[in-house]
Chain A
Amino acid sequence: MNRELLKVSGLTKHYPLPRQGLMEKKQVVRAVDGISFRIREGEIFGLVGESGCGKSTTGQMLVQLVKQTEGELYFQGEPVSGLSESRMKALRRDIQIVFQDPYSSLNPKKTIGWTLEEPLIIHRIGDKLQRRKIVSETLEQVGLDASYMDRYPHELSGGQKQRVGIAAALVLEPKFIVIDEAVSALDVSVQSQILNLLKELQEKRGLTYLFISHDLNVVEYISDRIGVMYLGKIVEIFEAGVADKGPLHPYTRALFSAVPDVHKRKEHAVLQGDVPNPIEPPGGCAFHPRCPAVMDICRSEVPQLRKVGSGHEVSCHIYAEGE
């Protein structure tokens, strides 16, 4: 259970911006700016942060939908960039993704059965009969009966579409699934059904998830560890649900404190201002203009992610080892 399944090291994605004029220097969006973390087999690693902080770009680099500008991704100990053609194809089976909007990943003109069978055809798995069997079994595992094979996306409710999206990720029997805001658009009563399903599948099949969400209640519920992103960087990684190992980074604290609590009305420390532009992020610690605990060093020096306890890493000068 504790073997490392996936590791990213210095992973970076800079999107070039169209040049404004001849004299202008080339600008980039620093969508993901040198992040490193490891995910163990069977783990659910939550990734949180405000919109635009780089969560989806990270997820898309893990499933090879987006090519990194720099850095390396290791799967089962092997660097992905050095893989042969055939190993790469196997990797594409092993790593799958579920999106927020199942509409966009389902072809409106094709039946659900067609959509689910296609990846099996691409990977030359089984004959027609065997593929139909795999598809109907997968549908069953996500709580839909075989009759859904003949239905079209528009005939399904939001929750049913998300079940199909999950089935599409499962049909190739992957080891690792990126789940990008997959329950964010669903109403509470449907959301809890899908969360239970994801958890059940993970336990039954020993799956590993990168669980991306901006909803901190969802992430705290489902994750073993949580990574917090701000402006393309990971500012903290901590174990979820361990009371005396709560988050330390001022951003993480402000973020969690901002979440309204259904059990009690709380006073929260409100962060001022907006997240700065990722084209020209502030120098030093990118969070320093909004940080309630800012020090001089924060304006000039970029803090590094440092281990502060077992399973706990923080990127903040406050917690740097004293000289």
Chain B
Amino acid sequence: MTNSLLEMRDLEVAFTLGKQDYPALQQMTFQIGEKETVGIVGESGCGKSLTSLSIMGLLPGTAKITKGEIRLDGKSLVTSSAQQWSGVRGKDITMIFQDPMTALNPLMPVGKQIAEMALLHLGVSRKEARQLALDMMAKVGLSRVDRLYGDYPHQLSGGMMQRIMIAMALICQPKLLIADEPTTALDVTIQAQILNLLRDMNHSTGTAMLFISHDLGVIREVCDRVIVMYAGYMVEEAPVEELLDHPRHPYTAGLLQSLPGADKRGRILYTIPGRVPPLTGRRTGCPFAGRCPSATAICAAEVPQMKKAGEQHLVRCHLVAG
């Protein structure tokens, strides 16, 4: 691994609902190296978006960081003031979402929205900002950018809007781009275009990426390393081929086995019984114990720690010998 750019250590985030605190993220510890692409995968509700919102300093009002540390280039984000954090957000760390419509201003031309980012963070003139925006639009594969500059979001297709979002996110040359399900709402052929673009941008600009997806195939295409989350915990982490070819956690293995595909025609699909417990229904012990086919007494009693299961392979499971 190269130098660590982002470091999350033992992060815990909890929601206050009524009078009680419900932890939604626990023991989150990982790093992202410079230029590296790290994936987070897991089913809905497992805490992927909360992880990214914690880094952005954009947690919802009812949630708070109750423990742990997030550092960018060694500097703590958790202890920095809201103002300092907003200086980082949009400049050093930027984000793209599943639905660009919610992030774009419907009343402002798309080109101008990109230029505004440059104006806000780069201290350039209006004219320079406009030119930077036009260049960036061309770089993300948009054509006829002079005309497109003045178009409004609703005039664009989903794929084009995601390109606009990427241009906005990259114009200030951030150190880290967080992409939260950026292709989930797109058709596969457009998804392929956007994944190619993100990979190219990662190579050409060296921007590191935290790539969140529920789709293991997409994760394989773009990530160097992957973290699997379940019910607020990281349960496995490894380089992408290692993780998908040799999963060690029963949840990861179960997910892979459950995937439909041409190779499983005529066979009954493997199923993981039950479903992800809601925030208010999580118990002690291993978060996966209730659905695990090989759970034993200790699994219900104690939360397992992340332990080494290979060269760069970490697993949170009592049943895996360290």
Using CB atoms and an 8 Å cutoff, list the residues of chain A in contact with chain B.
50-51, 157, 159, 187-193, 195-196, 199, 214, 216-218, 220-222, 240-241, 254-255, 258-266, 268, 270-272, 274-275
Contact = CB atoms under 8 A, between A and B. Distances in A.
**How many B residues touch the partner, as a band?**
35 or more
Contacts of B294: none
B162 to A, nearest CB: 12
Interface in B245-279: 254-256, 258-266, 268-272, 275-276
B216 A216 contact: no
B155 interface: no
Given A187-B43, A192-B260, A255-B189, A261 B265 contact: no
Contacts of A270: 189, 192-193, 196
Contact of B192 (A191, A220, A265, A268): A268
B259 A187 contact: no
A214 B275 CA distance: 24
Given A50-B189, A262-B244, A262-B256, A192 B157 contact: no
B128 interface: no
A217 B263 CA distance: 9
Contacts of B64: none
B270 A51 contact: no
A187 B269 contact: no
Count chain B CB atoms within 10 A of each CB in A51, A191, A274 and give the residue with the most.
A274
B159 A196 contact: no
B47 to A, nearest CB: 14
Contacts, number: 112
Contacts of B258: 188-189, 191-192
Count chain A CB atoms within 10 A of each CB in B193, B244, B260 and give the residue with the most.
B260
Q: Closest 9 CB pairs between A and B?
A: A260-B217, A221-B260, A187-B43, A50-B187, A192-B258, A192-B269, A258-B192, A189-B272, A220-B262
A241 B193 contact: no
Contacts of B266: 241
Contacts of B244: 262-263
Nearest to A264: B220
Contacts of A190: 275
B88 interface: no
B220 to A, nearest CB: 6
B44 to A, nearest CB: 6
B214 interface: yes
Contacts of B214: 187-188
A157 B275 contact: yes
Given A187-B276, A270-B196, A241 B188 contact: no
A274 B160 contact: yes
Contacts of B259: 188, 192, 217, 262
B275 A159 contact: yes
B221 interface: yes
Nearest to A266: B221
A266 B217 CA distance: 10
B49 to A, nearest CB: 14
B218 interface: yes
Interface string B163-201: 000000000000000000000000111111101100000
Given A50-B189, A260-B215, A270-B189, A195 B159 contact: no
B50 to A, nearest CB: 17
A79 B68 CA distance: 69
A103 B53 CA distance: 29
Given A187-B214, A262-B244, A193 B192 contact: no
Contact of A261 (B43, B217, B275): B217
Contacts of B271: 189, 192-193, 196
Nearest to B156: A274
A240 B266 CA distance: 11
Nearest to B251: A189
A31 to B, nearest CB: 17
B44 A259 contact: no
Contacts of A221: 260-262, 264-265, 269
